[in-house]
Structure 1
Amino acid sequence: MSMDLQRFHATYFEESREGLDAMEAGLLALEGGSLDPEVVNSVFRAAHSIKGGAATFGFDKMAALTHVLETLLDEIRAGKRALAASALDAMLGSVDVLRALLAEAEHGKPSDPSAVAAVHARLEAELNGTAEEAAAPAKAPAEAEPEGWRIAFAPSPSLFMSGNDPLRILRELEHLGELDVDARLDRLPAFAQLDPLEACIAWDMGLRAKVPRSAIDDVFAWVVDDCELDIQPQQPAAADAVAAAEAAAPAAGPGPAAPPAAAPAGPVAVPASGHAGEAESSIRVSVDKVDALINLVGELVITQAMLKQVSGGMDPAQAERLFAGLELLERNTRDLQEAVIGVRMLPVDAVFRRFPRLVRDLSSRLGKQVRLRTIGEGTELDKGLIEKIADPLVHLVRNSIDHGLEMPDDRKAAGKDEAGTITLGASHQGGHIVIEVADDGRGLNRDKILAKALERGLQVPDNPSDAQVWDLIFQPGFSTADAVTDLSGRGVGMDVVRKNIQALGGEVQLESRDGHGTRVVIRLPLTLAILDGMVVSAGGEVVILPLSHVLEALQPQPDDIRTVAGEGRVLRVRGEYLPMLSLADHYGYHGGQRESLVVVVEGEGRKLALEVEELVGQQQVVVKNLERNYRRVPGISGATILGDGRVALIVDVGGLVRLRQQSLPQAA
């Protein structure tokens, strides 16, 4: 009986991509000094699965390459050969080639035969022992590492006031290895005298991991001046028996006997894998099917809004049961919408996990020492946003390494650690996800940026603030790099980064301190599908203000409105003067009544007072792409369909802030 194997191809390609990601992460962990046998086994299993499927489906080039890779990994995990740096480099190269071969099998995109042959030859050379001499020196640094560290950490009472959290520090240490923690309560007062704003607990910790002292110093970098800290190496004689058992495991027999001792750490090392029961309860669903479901839920939200609006004109006494049913429909619709959108939510780690390899390759190429630090990898974001945010983040990380971080000698001369740090962080704030890319490099040079702006004839405000100066690097083609290369200055393409983020309904902010580094903050909506909006009337038309940008609504007094030279009209709100903008005038609406209310909104770190006629209400709206169906309109992020069938525009608050800044009088 013949069987059509092509219907299994899609599943194989998807699983192989996941396997290659797991292989790359495992190899980078081994290169970083991990001695966990389960890491080697996870890489071996991924190679074995890819080889088996390739042989079954007739992808001969993939099968041949993974056969050599699998043989090399099997000998390493069985203890027959040392894990040499040259072998790791060859295996990482094989991951790139396997990705190309996978694309060839899936999409017919030809791979580079010379690259395939070169990687195959490197793996064969490792198997034949030509690179054995490199193995001993490669292992020397790892053997010089202590078996673990003993850490005594006593925060000062005022630690909380600097915004630091001791529990966050403990969690970061857990990422480095197995951590034993004992709390010291000798400074803890009686309950009646307890002050929740003072740190009273100290900790004694044992970290069982062969990591460099610098990795631990990084964890405590933000609190080193607000604590008593003692970090001592743990000598091999005092190390945990588990480490000794792992070292002796290869001699006990073939490789598969080793994993059981380390197996419990598996779910912790790879959180995405979960428990076996979780894997059995999941299914693979086409993204197109999920998108179709979200579109249907969006139409249901519009229909529910229409029914609610129509029912508003009915007599409540006669339609009591109808109103009760509509309220239930509204609750169920919101629950359904949240559940369906949750299906599309993925951890931002889907983007972050590509950066360890990028950082490794670029730092080697540029001769720099770079340490990558990630925070909040489990923060969830809509899949559509994850796919579109990847390229801007890659650009920012590349520029941070190339233009932001100094060479090791320069850093040492400046009193810094020779290894620079790139931080990738993600967190939820209100209705947004905030992603930051930070480095501890040289920072932006204010004078150099201003000189370049004047040289190019750009308009610069009188006595510009730092934020206005940093904003200049978002001008098209702006760069302060002395030499143009494929990785040149931080300004190259930054206008494209901002444009791409704005197209997603987000905004970009940049902070920098000379000699201390640069931080780029990206704020994005959690999803592009549905948002909570404040419905307002302006110039006789209905517009939507995203609720996540709204701070307050008020009725201004005439005495609180002033006209300031160079600023236009401003509104005084509790001692703060906010620029005012009429929505009717801005969008060219000429109907309606006089605008008597103000809605205070915030975008890109700046507040704006928007004049409106009436606050109509608050409701969920389904976001429709205006650019795809019409064209891009400055100050508008999209449109929606109201319950009565009318189209209402959704205000781009960040865009309004930028447009107003550009319209102010400026001097060169």
Structure 2
Amino acid sequence: MSMDLQRFHATFFEESREGLDAMEAGLLSLEEGNRDPETINSVFRAAHSIKGGAATFGFESIAGLTHVLETLLDELRAGKRAVEAAAVDAMLGSVDVLRALLREAEHGQAADPAAVQAVLGRLNAVLSGQAAAAPAATAKKEEEPEAWHIGFTPAPSLFMSGNDPLRIIRELEHLGPLQIAARLERLPGFEQIDPMEAYLAWDLGLIGKVPRSKIEDTFAWVVDDCELEIRPMAVPAPPPSLAVEDAAPATPVVAAAPAAAAAGAAPAANSAAHEAETSIRVSVDKVDALINLVGELVITQAMLKAVSGGLDAAHAESLAAGLDLLERNTRDLQEAVIGVRMLPVDAVFRRFPRLVRDLSTRLGKQVRLRTLGEGTELDKGLIEKIADPLVHLVRNSIDHGLELPEARSAAGKDETGTITLAASHQGGHIVIEVSDDGRGLNREKILAKAAERGISVPDNPTDSQVWDLIFAPGFSTADAVTDLSGRGVGMDVVRRNIQALGGEVQVESSAGHGTRTLIRLPLTLAILDGMTVSVAGETLILPLAYVLEALQPQAVDIRTMAGEGRVLRVRGEYLPILSLSEYYGYAGQRSEDPLVVVVEGDGQKIALEVDELVGQQQVVVKNIENNYRRIAGISGATILGDGRVALIVDIGGLVRSLRALPQAA
């Protein structure tokens, strides 16, 4: 019976990418001096799993490269060679090439054949360098066994993974004459037999000078679902079950479980089975569909609540109680469903140790990476889209933010610079920080470059206004263009990408002490808590996470300043006033006694003038760009309980528009 293996490809690619991430983390740990055997074992297991899957699905280039890589790792974990910089560097290079080969297999993006051959050459060079000490002796030792004893004890759950011990035994028969003896000690009474569990174990005698790797490849697909022992033995005259007693002592092998661990194999298997039962892989599309349905439920609940307001008191009281319960349950359901999409931001952070290592080596700088708050959770959609902006910021910090060791030493600093990646929750946002302890931004240089490019700058600009100039398209203060980055080059793209996610970017810098970039993002792209306001007969939604307070302004607290427009005094602080009616061009009737809502975005407070505060409610965010086009000052839309569409205000966009007004005056 033939089996269509293509339906398993997606799982293989996803698990292989996870394996490569684990390999990279382990190799970087080895390079830093960690010699924990479990670190080498974890790297080996990842390579072994990728090789087994690639061989099964016929991805020969991936299987061939991982086979060489696995050989080197096996020598490292067996203690046959020391962990050296050349070996770690070659293995890190193989991780990059394997990623390219995975893309080729999954998407048809051809990998560079020269890069594949180059990394194979580096791995083989490392291997041959070790073997040069005693090549003849090693070869002779490998040719000594004329037969192998194989102890094969399947886990009880082996059948559930689609594997069959008889198929494996038949594969071994292709390698040479095979003697077989079954072990029946685990076989229960007939009434207790579960046909879905594997009870039999096997002692196998394989006759012939067969390479150990061939045997290991046969068991590659079940190595995690069995206890396996492979050891040389003399050519047996009696059946293997008798010859085992006279066999040579067991030697370390790639796929064998150590004898000392055999007693603990059952608990480990039970633990793995428990883990498999409590987690499943679910397509992101299915989760998104579920979130959309919950969003529609939120809208329906708001609609029912709006309708109930028009009923008589006798009927409305019981209906209101039911609606309150529905609202609580809907909110709990929404939080639970959104929680499914939440992933720790470590999913992004863990790609940076390699980036920092490679760039610092290339630029001759000493860099220490510090990460904080890796467990902070963020929506999966945001995690996928935030990676590129963070990569650009980190590259900028290393290339132009941090000084060379001698310059840092001359300035009285530690020769090793520090890049900090931190994540935390603040209100309804997640805040991601990228900071360095380098030279900081040069205020005079930025202003000179702005004048050279004809960019309008306010008189006596504040530091924040100067730092904001680096987000102008194509702005750069670099003396020379490099292929890595330029402080400011591409920063407009960073801001645009963050704004597309409903977030904002803020830069802080101190000369000689470093630069700090703060990115504020909503926790999720799906549902938010909003304040509903009325402006000239239209309904708008203010994201509640940005709202500080609402108040009725007094005439004595409002002033008009030349070139700055109106400002409102709030407890001794003057805030610019922005009329939402004027900003959006609404022509409806306005209130004679407008209210103001104080909000904060991009690190600046402003007072938004509105006609009425309608209330607070959860709203489902709908994307406008996909259905119409991008609108300045609007981040999205929602559907109200009465079926009307309300626009969601982009607080950060309003703040930035106010900053631009003095420049245009």
Q: What TM-score do you get using the length of structure 1 for normalisation?
A: 0.78
User: What is the CA–CA distance in structure 1 between the aligned matches of 2:278 and 2:66, rounded to whole Å?
Assistant: 30
Q: Deviations over 1:133-182 (max 9, x none)?
A: 9xxxxxxxxxxxxxxxxxxxxxxxxxxxxxxxxxxxxxxxxxxxxxxxxx
User: What is the CA–CA distance in structure 2 between the aligned matches of 1:488 and 1:120, rounded to whole Å?
Assistant: 31
Alignment partner, residue 234 of structure 1: none
- The CA deviation at 1:500 is 0.6
- The CA deviation at 1:277 is 3.9
User: What is the CA–CA distance in structure 2 between the aligned matches of 1:68 and 1:619, rounded to whole Å?
Assistant: 59
Q: Secondary structure at the match of 1:615?
A: strand
> Contact between 1:460 and 1:666, CA under 8 Å: does it hold in 2?
no
User: What is the CA–CA distance in structure 2 between the aligned matches of 1:307 and 1:555, rounded to whole Å?
Assistant: 32
> Which amino acid is the alignment partner of residue 15 of structure 2?
E
Alignment partner, residue 438 of structure 2: 441
Alignment partner, residue 388 of structure 2: 391
Pair 1:97-2:86 in alignment: no
- Taking the TM superposition and a 5 Å limit, the aligned residue runs for 1:43-442 are 43-129=43-129, 277-442=274-439
Question: Which stretch shows the higher mean deviation, 504-513 or 107-116?
Answer: 107-116
- The CA deviation at 1:7 is 1.4
- Taking the TM superposition and a 5 Å limit, the aligned residue runs for 1:527-542 are 527-542=524-539
Structure 1 residues 275 and 3, CA, compared in 2 at 3 Å: closer, same or farther? closer
Alignment partner, residue 663 of structure 1: 661
User: What is the CA–CA distance in structure 1 between the aligned matches of 2:470 and 2:656, rounded to whole Å?
Assistant: 15
Q: What TM-score do you get using the length of structure 2 for normalisation?
A: 0.79
Structure 1 residues 454 and 314, CA, compared in 2 at 3 Å: closer, same or farther? same
Q: Secondary structure at the match of 2:575?
A: strand
Alignment partner, residue 601 of structure 1: 599
Q: Secondary structure at the match of 1:599?
A: strand
- Taking the TM superposition and a 5 Å limit, the aligned residue runs for 1:618-629 are 618-629=616-627
- The CA deviation at 1:131 is 9.5
User: What is the CA–CA distance in structure 1 between the aligned matches of 2:11 and 2:480, rounded to whole Å?
Assistant: 46
Q: Secondary structure at the match of 2:419?
A: strand
- The CA deviation at 1:666 is 5.7
> Which amino acid is the alignment partner of residue 439 of structure 1?
D
User: What is the CA–CA distance in structure 2 between the aligned matches of 1:478 and 1:260, rounded to whole Å?
Assistant: 64
Pair 1:456-2:434 in alignment: no
Question: Which stretch shows the higher mean deviation, 422-431 or 322-331?
Answer: 322-331
> Contact between 1:462 and 1:666, CA under 8 Å: does it hold in 2?
no
User: What is the CA–CA distance in structure 2 between the aligned matches of 1:373 and 1:260, rounded to whole Å?
Assistant: 39
Q: Deviations over 1:555-612 (max 9, x none)?
A: 1111111111121111111111111111111111121332521111111111111111
Q: Secondary structure at the match of 1:533?
A: strand
Structure 1: runs of 5+ lacking an equivalent: 134-250, 265-273
Q: Deviations over 1:194-253 (max 9, x none)?
A: xxxxxxxxxxxxxxxxxxxxxxxxxxxxxxxxxxxxxxxxxxxxxxxxxxxxxxxxx996
- The CA deviation at 1:488 is 3.5
- The CA deviation at 1:127 is 1.3
> Which amino acid is the alignment partner of residue 43 of structure 2?
V
Question: Which stretch shows the higher mean deviation, 3-12 or 382-391?
Answer: 3-12
How many residues of Structure 1 are paired with residues of Structure 2 in the alignment?
Answer: 539
User: What is the CA–CA distance in structure 1 between the aligned matches of 2:414 and 2:504, rounded to whole Å?
Assistant: 32
User: What is the CA–CA distance in structure 1 between the aligned matches of 2:470 and 2:594, rounded to whole Å?
Assistant: 39
> Contact between 1:316 and 1:323, CA under 8 Å: does it hold in 2?
no
Among residues 551, 566, 571, which one is paired with 1:569 in the alignment? 566
> Which amino acid is the alignment partner of residue 348 of structure 1?
V
Pair 1:551-2:568 in alignment: no
User: What is the CA–CA distance in structure 2 between the aligned matches of 1:420 and 1:89, rounded to whole Å?
Assistant: 22
Structure 1 residues 302 and 84, CA, compared in 2 at 3 Å: closer, same or farther? same
User: What is the CA–CA distance in structure 1 between the aligned matches of 2:513 and 2:105, rounded to whole Å?
Assistant: 47
> Contact between 1:636 and 1:650, CA under 8 Å: does it hold in 2?
yes
- The CA deviation at 1:664 is 2.1
User: What is the CA–CA distance in structure 2 between the aligned matches of 1:49 and 1:253, rounded to whole Å?
Assistant: 19
> Which amino acid is the alignment partner of residue 79 of structure 2?
G
In terms of Rg, which structure is larger? 2
Structure 2: runs of 5+ lacking an equivalent: 134-249, 265-270
- Taking the TM superposition and a 5 Å limit, the aligned residue runs for 1:643-654 are 643-654=641-652
User: What is the CA–CA distance in structure 1 between the aligned matches of 2:91 and 2:375, rounded to whole Å?
Assistant: 28
> Which amino acid is the alignment partner of residue 607 of structure 2?
A
What's the C-alpha RMSD, in Å, of the aligned pairs?
2.0
Alignment partner, residue 173 of structure 1: none
Alignment partner, residue 186 of structure 2: none
User: What is the CA–CA distance in structure 2 between the aligned matches of 1:553 and 1:98, rounded to whole Å?
Assistant: 56
> Which amino acid is the alignment partner of residue 575 of structure 1?
G
> Contact between 1:534 and 1:546, CA under 8 Å: does it hold in 2?
yes
Alignment partner, residue 633 of structure 1: 631
User: What is the CA–CA distance in structure 1 between the aligned matches of 2:65 and 2:305, rounded to whole Å?
Assistant: 62
User: What is the CA–CA distance in structure 2 between the aligned matches of 1:569 and 1:340, rounded to whole Å?
Assistant: 44
User: What is the CA–CA distance in structure 2 between the aligned matches of 1:454 and 1:507, rounded to whole Å?
Assistant: 26
> Which amino acid is the alignment partner of residue 480 of structure 1?
T
Structure 1 residues 107 and 665, CA, compared in 2 at 3 Å: closer, same or farther? closer
- The CA deviation at 1:319 is 3.1
User: What is the CA–CA distance in structure 2 between the aligned matches of 1:259 and 1:390, rounded to whole Å?
Assistant: 45
- The CA deviation at 1:259 is 12
Q: Deviations over 1:91-132 (max 9, x none)?
A: 000001111111111112211111111111111111112698
> Contact between 2:81 and 2:130, CA under 8 Å: does it hold in 1?
no
User: What is the CA–CA distance in structure 2 between the aligned matches of 1:319 and 1:259, rounded to whole Å?
Assistant: 73
- The CA deviation at 1:279 is 4.7
User: What is the CA–CA distance in structure 1 between the aligned matches of 2:311 and 2:504, rounded to whole Å?
Assistant: 43
User: What is the CA–CA distance in structure 2 between the aligned matches of 1:132 and 1:30, rounded to whole Å?
Assistant: 24
User: What is the CA–CA distance in structure 2 between the aligned matches of 1:456 and 1:260, rounded to whole Å?
Assistant: 72
Question: Which stretch shows the higher mean deviation, 535-544 or 118-127?
Answer: 118-127
- The CA deviation at 1:328 is 1.1
User: What is the CA–CA distance in structure 2 between the aligned matches of 1:488 and 1:285, rounded to whole Å?
Assistant: 38
Q: Secondary structure at the match of 1:338?
A: helix
> Which amino acid is the alignment partner of residue 637 of structure 1?
S
- The CA deviation at 1:318 is 2.1
> Which amino acid is the alignment partner of residue 300 of structure 1?
L
Q: Percent identity, aligned pairs only?
A: 80
> Contact between 1:561 and 1:571, CA under 8 Å: does it hold in 2?
yes
Alignment partner, residue 509 of structure 2: 512
Structure 1 residues 131 and 478, CA, compared in 2 at 3 Å: closer, same or farther? farther
User: What is the CA–CA distance in structure 2 between the aligned matches of 1:48 and 1:525, rounded to whole Å?
Assistant: 40
Q: Secondary structure at the match of 2:319?
A: helix
User: What is the CA–CA distance in structure 2 between the aligned matches of 1:275 and 1:548, rounded to whole Å?
Assistant: 42
> Which amino acid is the alignment partner of residue 625 of structure 1?
N
Q: Secondary structure at the match of 2:439?
A: coil
Structure 1 residues 69 and 90, CA, compared in 2 at 3 Å: closer, same or farther? same
- The CA deviation at 1:316 is 2.4
Q: Secondary structure at the match of 1:520?
A: strand
Q: Secondary structure at the match of 1:411?
A: helix
- The CA deviation at 1:399 is 0.5
User: What is the CA–CA distance in structure 1 between the aligned matches of 2:292 and 2:131, rounded to whole Å?
Assistant: 56
Q: Secondary structure at the match of 2:80?
A: coil
User: What is the CA–CA distance in structure 2 between the aligned matches of 1:59 and 1:76, rounded to whole Å?
Assistant: 26
> Which amino acid is the alignment partner of residue 337 of structure 2?
V
- The CA deviation at 1:33 is 1.0
- The CA deviation at 1:254 is 6.3
